[in-house]
Structure 1
Amino acid sequence: MTSKKLVAVGDNCLDAYLTNGLLTVGGNALNVAAQWRRNGWTARYFGAVGEDAEGDMVLSELAGVGLSPDDVERRPGDTAVTLLRDESGERRFLHESFGVGENYMPSPEHYAIIATADWVHLGTNANRDLVRRMVANRVPFSIDVSTAHLALPLGGVPMLFASGPDDVDVPIEPLLSALRAAGASQVALTCGRCGSYFDDGMNDVVHAPATLVDVVDTCGAGDSFIATFLTGFRFGGLSASEALREASIAAAQTCTHLGGFPQRPRPIPDWLPAKYASFIADAQGARP
């Protein structure tokens, strides 16, 4: 498995859990790369952090799972930060700042590496021009479009991951049809308690049930699903239904700890809530 070259590109962030005063490192693309490394695959992560203390934390944590800080650009400005409150294991977002990683475009040197990978995963809020370039260059890749299903140009994209309805009375077919009509070749939907689905692009849709656990935190569960499904389906010899089941188990395991991959949560430093005090006050004032 280690001979395959896997690359994740895009978002990283600090997730600040204001309820319990803890901080973890995450972001869709970074979480996917971290899970690949934890599972023994050769993986790299390309993204950007600010020239700030938050960036130092991100680089320290990714180095701890075997990813190279040298693949991450440091740019003037702020590192991405998400402020959350925990409500019975579900995240309530108070503020999300994409920082210097917003609309990230890799340097020419990094893109040359990305374009030769066996598989590339683009995180949420991917750069539109990067998507078009990878399609034109026939790079094998996937994108997590989350709930912003049609925000990016999807023509020619090999594989999409999206969040679907978690209500059994809401059909998935309209969403699958819309994503396929937009140009995606294959689509995986994660639908919470309703399980997950995979449309192989040839009118065959398979389903796997959700794996039930006592939830500590849902952060990064979808990213673990993506990392596990891609390696199992693309390189591990698993059928789509088998890969969905393995991915469901991985996602459930991620829900049993804080953060998108196992790490030791850090106490939130005093300066971070002070830096975002106005956003916290506004969100708390708006809370019902």
Structure 2
Amino acid sequence: MTGIDASDNRVDVLVVGDANPDLLLTGDTVPRFGQAEQLLDAADLLLGGSAAIVACGLARLGMRTALAAVVGDDQFGVFVRGRLTDGGVLDREVRTSRTLPTGISVVLSEPSDRAILTLPGTIPTLTAGAVRGAVDRLRPRHVHVASYFLQPGLAADLPVLLAELAAEGITVSLDTNWDPAERWSGLTEVLSRVDVFLPNREEALAIGSAVLGRGTKDLDEASCALSALGCRVVVKAGAEGGIVYEDGARVASAPGLVVDVVDTTGAGDSFDAGYLAASLRGVESEEERLRWAAVAGSLSVRGRGGTGAQATLAELAGVLA
């Protein structure tokens, strides 16, 4: 894919967050210690990081997209930049650290689940100041923030940054991804300033429980509580597709596709890309936005890794038709 014209600074979306390689392992992936040697079916080095996968998904859907992230001055950093460029993402706002290694995730993938081991490396070092600079230079219509819990420095400054973006008329979406510490704290002020929140079912239950101040296993209860903070909550519900909540109520849903699953890595990020592309292209119906998202997420599982089978705009339109 050809990249966007680097001479034209303005983009549709600035994606903010993590960019790193994924070492994707499939086969007999449940570790057995005691120096047991296990044989795998496959091992692939692929572009990972929620933010990077969303950015590539948006670019595949025809959106002018840039990424703000930090990589290391190493072979993994070169790999990440190359894959972003190949995917049509502007990498001008990807910074290089001379002291820290590029983050990396080892993904132990099974047909119905996966485990992820992550070396943070440069991932936590992205700052609000760097994002402000990127916004000034690129003048995006929309900013998407990914992997909130992997970036504590950015997270601490996010409420102020979101207020500044809103004052400039820039809409914002957030996908926190999983909290490795499983505390799920600090999000109330952030969610009150976000236009769209895109958790999966498990994240919605965990964060909703934190907001309610008690545990709940009722997805509607948790998501309604989250949307009552002021954001639109778009829940990724796996094979069930997606569900939208606004102003404390469930307002729309749409099913996913039935496809042959090769790898589910990054499917939620491709879902995010589909929803945001629909919104930025002026699709007004929540049901139709969800259809874009569910189709984009479903089609992405046809290939290995988060970006290997992401839908083009033509493919998505063909399925929607």
Both structures adopt the same fold (TM-score exceeding 0.5): yes
1:58 aligns with 2:104: no
What is the Cα deviation at residue 130 of structure 1? Answer: 4.1
The residue number in structure 2 matching 1:273 is none
1:180 aligns with 2:207: no
TM-score by structure 1 length? Answer: 0.81
Query: How many aligned positions are there?
Result: 256
Corresponding residue SS for 2:106 = strand
1:252 aligns with 2:298: yes
The residue number in structure 1 matching 2:313 is none
What is the Cα deviation at residue 72 of structure 1? Answer: 0.7
What is the Cα deviation at residue 165 of structure 1? Answer: 5.1
The 1:203–1:21 alpha-carbon spacing in structure 2 relative to 1, beyond 3 Å, is closer
What is the Cα deviation at residue 89 of structure 1? Answer: 5.6
Q: Pick which of 195-204 and 214-223 moved more.
A: 195-204
Give structure 1 stretches of 5+ with no counterpart: 264-288
Mapping 1:86-97, distance limit 5 Å: 86-88=109-111, 90-93=113-116, 95-97=117-119
1:161 aligns with 2:198: yes
What is the Cα deviation at residue 29 of structure 1? Answer: 1.1
The 1:61–1:178 alpha-carbon spacing in structure 2 relative to 1, beyond 3 Å, is same
1:40 aligns with 2:62: yes
For 1:14 and 1:163, the matched residues in 2 are separated by 22
Q: Which amino acid aligns with 1:37?
A: A
The 1:226–1:150 alpha-carbon spacing in structure 2 relative to 1, beyond 3 Å, is farther
1:118 aligns with 2:141: yes
Q: Which amino acid aligns with 2:198?
A: F
8 Å contact from structure 2 (residues 48, 105) kept in 1 = no
8 Å contact from structure 1 (residues 7, 121) kept in 2 = yes
Mapping 1:48-87, distance limit 5 Å: 48-75=70-97, 76-87=99-110
Q: Which amino acid aligns with 1:109?
A: G
What is the Cα deviation at residue 233 of structure 1? Answer: 2.6
Mapping 1:1-288, distance limit 5 Å: 5-19=12-26, 20-75=42-97, 76-88=99-111, 90-93=113-116, 95-105=117-127, 106-107=129-130, 108-113=132-137, 116-125=139-148, 126=151, 127-137=154-164, 138=166, 139-148=170-179, 150-152=185-187, 153-164=190-201, 171-181=218-228, 183-201=229-247, 203-262=249-308
The 1:260–1:44 alpha-carbon spacing in structure 2 relative to 1, beyond 3 Å, is same
Q: 1:18-68 CA distances to partner (integer Å, 9 max, x unpaired)?
A: 331211012111111111111211111111101111111001111111223
8 Å contact from structure 2 (residues 227, 248) kept in 1 = no
8 Å contact from structure 1 (residues 35, 261) kept in 2 = yes
What is the Cα deviation at residue 69 of structure 1? Answer: 3.1
For 2:230 and 2:177, the matched residues in 1 are separated by 14
Q: Which amino acid aligns with 2:25?
A: L
Corresponding residue SS for 2:273 = helix
Corresponding residue SS for 1:7 = strand
For 2:157 and 2:12, the matched residues in 1 are separated by 19
What is the Cα deviation at residue 99 of structure 1? Answer: 1.4
For 2:248 and 2:225, the matched residues in 1 are separated by 15
For 1:178 and 1:124, the matched residues in 2 are separated by 21
TM-score by structure 2 length? Answer: 0.73
8 Å contact from structure 1 (residues 80, 99) kept in 2 = yes
The 1:4–1:248 alpha-carbon spacing in structure 2 relative to 1, beyond 3 Å, is same
Q: CA RMSD in A?
A: 2.4
What is the Cα deviation at residue 191 of structure 1? Answer: 1.4
Corresponding residue SS for 1:70 = coil
8 Å contact from structure 1 (residues 89, 216) kept in 2 = no
The 1:112–1:4 alpha-carbon spacing in structure 2 relative to 1, beyond 3 Å, is closer
